[in-house]
Structure 1
Amino acid sequence: MLDDRKLEVLKAIVTDYVASREPVGSKALVERHQLDVSAATVRNDMAALEEEGYIMQPHTSAGRIPTDKGYRLFVDKLSKVKPLSTAERTAITTFLGGTADVDDLVSRTVRLLAQLTRQVAIVQYPIAQRDVIRHLDLVTLSPERLLVIVVQSNGRVDQTTLEAPVLDEPRLQALRGRIASAIIGQTAADAASVLAGFLETIAPEDRALAGPVVAAVLEAIATQPASQVLVAGVPNLAGTAFEANMRPLLEALEEQVVLLRLLGEAAGDDVTVRIGQENRAQGFHATSLVAAGYGAQYGASLGVVGPTRMDYPSTIAAVRAVARYVSRILTEG
């Protein structure tokens, strides 16, 4: 265990290195931070921190930089998270307010996180087994074109256009009523099972025209995304001065399965921070992940990926605030 003074020295080293990207020396620490000790004492503390693996000397200069172990202790000992500014809080409520549906919400969220943190943002779609079909509509566009609209309970709207001779309006609405009666309140999977045998309940003379309608409804249901993630802010990596080759990371950011596993391993009810080698996914060993779950009923997660040299207090605050706001939107929606 480190004493309070060494923890303060470590905190100062992390803070200065994140801000400057330059190794930190004892003289700079004494000048910039109120440590109330001499430079010689700070040098001794830095030697102890280095011996225990919390900091390292990247080259022959007198400066030191934090190791993954040092960042880990810094995060674990954070007594407070930097509060969001009024402008940041306003940006969250303004940018996410008035979202049209889940697709819009996820798209806005991932872009907002990337802007707030200046890191790569990752947001998982909030797909829940309890989401059910809330509404079905069949709209005649022309004698041979029909628009099929399916609305999910999570606000998602799927639609598909059917190119086929359309039933006359009374028969079409009668068919809509029968299909709606069968699938409203069902999950997409259960609705698909119901519709699999639906045509057998239709009068033989109507099946030729009802068949394409049922197929179009099934197509609309099937467009609901499986578990997947959206990524934004990859250009932010250009300004991070990664010490490691970025190619494995860029390749990993294109793999949905890898990203889902990364979020799944890290996210919980509150913010979780995974640093360096704690991220077991290939390509992420030189990064830090700050992630949080959102929408408890959905089991979904969001987070940001960046270099281990990250402004952890600000990033944690942004991820936590966005996760809570998105959860509130989903709950109230």
Structure 2
Amino acid sequence: MGLDDRKLAVLRAIVEDYVSTQEPVGSKALVERHQLGVSPATVRNDMAVLEEEGYIRQPHTSAGRVPTDRGYRLFVDRLSRVKPLSPAERRAIERFLVGAVDLDDVVHRTVRLLAQLTRQVAVVQYPSLARSSVRHLELVPISTTRLMLVMIADTGRVEQRLVELPGPVPADDVTDLRRLINEKLANARLSETPPLVQALVEEAPTGLRPTMTTLATVLLETLVERHEERIALAGTANLTRGGLLDFQGSLRPILEALEEEVVLLKLIGETEPSTTRVLIGDENEFDNLRAASVVSTGYGPGTTIVGGLGVLGPTRMDYPGNIATVRAVARYVGELLAQN
């Protein structure tokens, strides 16, 4: 059965009050705090219907009601108006991120900022190499038989490899190799580089081919065969705010889940461009996170998504505020990456 506007208004009021007070909400309090325009008896009837439909429940012997996962889902989908950030919050985000000196600094500032603004656990995925492009490849001679290969991605990630050459290579040859490699690979997506690296070997002048073959092996390792993704985490202390009851009595399963990078990547690393994903309670596929909610989105320069970021906390969270903050921070990080 569909809920009419009045019952939806009652549900919205229950969610908002429960999030702000952490106390089960009674009909009397709803009538006093919200201009619902109906009597407490009508509100009680509406609450009975909401309970019957599974949107709210009565904890223990309390007279009040609290939202269920289903109630939060309806609130997020139909009722929550995303809170606009205040000018002060916007300035704070900009000031906090604008001083970053490199990619590591951007990620660590972002995760700390998210945790501070939302008072939840914040998770930021480093820009994924799989989604990056080559900005520049540098060859730095260490000796006549050793080179340092430096790959700089468009997301600011830097990868370095020491290359042992099959024999001494003159400085002029290093210059030629550098030019050939950059002509072929600059601006290519990392996922599309294997055939280009193969072509470098096939097209190399005869004199350079042995060195290029050695370089090609290291290039493939650097550009393609790097599957590990990195995650930054902040704000785990925020889990203890407001008591453990939010997490049905135990934080241990959630803390264990947060130690699994694979779990975190799955939670925040699979978000589509320009969408915000909200997973509530039982919607999480990981048993240990069934008492938590996750708000996440993708970030990157322009329309390119290179990683995910988000927050995790109790199902009793400020969804409109957290959605707005996660979106705004993602937008600023994307702008920063675009400027690099």
State the TM bucket, normalised to the shorter chain. 0.7 to 0.9
User: Equivalent residue of 2:289, what SS?
Assistant: coil
Larger displacement relative to structure 2 (98-107 or 23-32): 98-107
Query: What count of residue pairs does the alignment treat as equivalent?
Result: 332
Q: Following TM superposition, by how much is the alpha carbon of 1:224 offset from its aligned partner in structure 2, in angstroms?
A: 5.9
Does the CA-based 8 Å contact 1:293-1:323 persist in structure 2? Answer: yes
Identity of counterpart residues, as a percentage?
52
2:290 to 285, 289, 300: 285
In the superposition, relative to structure 1, how do residues 266 and 199 fare at CA in structure 2: closer, same or farther (>3 Å)?
A: closer
Deviation at 1:62, TM superposition (A): 1.1
Quick one: distance in 2 between partners of 1:269 and 1:132?
20
Aligned to 1:248: 253
Do the aligned residues in 2 keep the contact of 1:119 with 1:306 (CA within 8 Å)? yes
Q: Deviations over 1:23-57 (max 9, x none)?
A: 12222223322333333333232222222222111
* Aligned 8 A contact 1:120 1:231 in 2: yes
Matching residue's letter, 2:293: S
Number of the residue aligned with 2:53: 52
Aligned to 2:247, what secondary structure does the other structure show?
coil
Secondary structure of the 1:150 match is strand
Measure, in 2, the Cα distance between the counterparts of 1:262 and 1:191. 28
Residue 121 of structure 1 corresponds to which residue in structure 2?
A: 122
Point out where structure 2 has 5 or more consecutive residues left out of the alignment.
none
Q: Which moved more, 1:195-204 or 1:184-193?
A: 195-204
Q: Following superposition of structure 1 onto structure 2, how do residues 51-90 of structure 1 map, counting pairs within 5 Å?
A: 51-78=52-79, 80-90=81-91
CA contact (8 A) 2:296 2:309 kept: yes
Q: Is the 8 A contact 2:131 2:191 kept in 1?
A: no
Aligned CA distance change for structure 1 residues 220 and 205 (closer, same or farther; 3 Å): closer
Contact in 1 for aligned 2:270/2:308 (Cα 8 Å) = no
Partners in 2 of 1:135 and 1:299 — Cα distance?
Answer: 18
Matched residue SS, 2:64: coil
Unaligned 5+ segments in structure 1 are none
Tell me the secondary structure at the aligned position of residue 80 of structure 1: coil
Q: Residue 239 of structure 2 aligns with which residue? A: 237
Residues 1:297 and 2:274 aligned together: no
Whether the aligned pair in 1 keeps the contact of 2:180 and 2:200 (CA below 8 Å) is no
* Contact 1:114/1:120 (<8 A) preserved: yes
User: Counterparts of 2:137 and 2:123 in 1: how far apart (Å)?
Assistant: 32
User: Residue deviations 1:154-210, cap 9 Å, x none?
Assistant: 332223456899856445434434444454344445556665797795777996x88
Q: SS at the partner of 1:301?
A: strand
8 Å contact from structure 1 (residues 92, 322) kept in 2: yes
2:310 partner SS: strand
1:13 Cα deviation after fit: 1.6
Query: Which is further off, 73-82 or 263-272?
Result: 263-272
Aligned to 1:152: 153
Instruction: Tell me: CA distance 1:104–1:161, structure 2 relative to 1, closer, same or farther (3 Å).
Output: farther
Q: Take 1:267 and 1:182, find their aligned partners in 2: how far apart are those partners?
A: 30
Contact 1:293–1:301 under 8 Å retained in 2: yes
Cα displacement (A) at 1:211: 8.0
Helix, strand or coil for the counterpart of 2:54?
Answer: coil
Q: Secondary structure at the match of 1:123?
A: strand
Contact kept in structure 2, 1:140 and 1:166, CA below 8 Å: no
Q: Distance in 1 between matches of 2:150 and 2:270?
A: 36
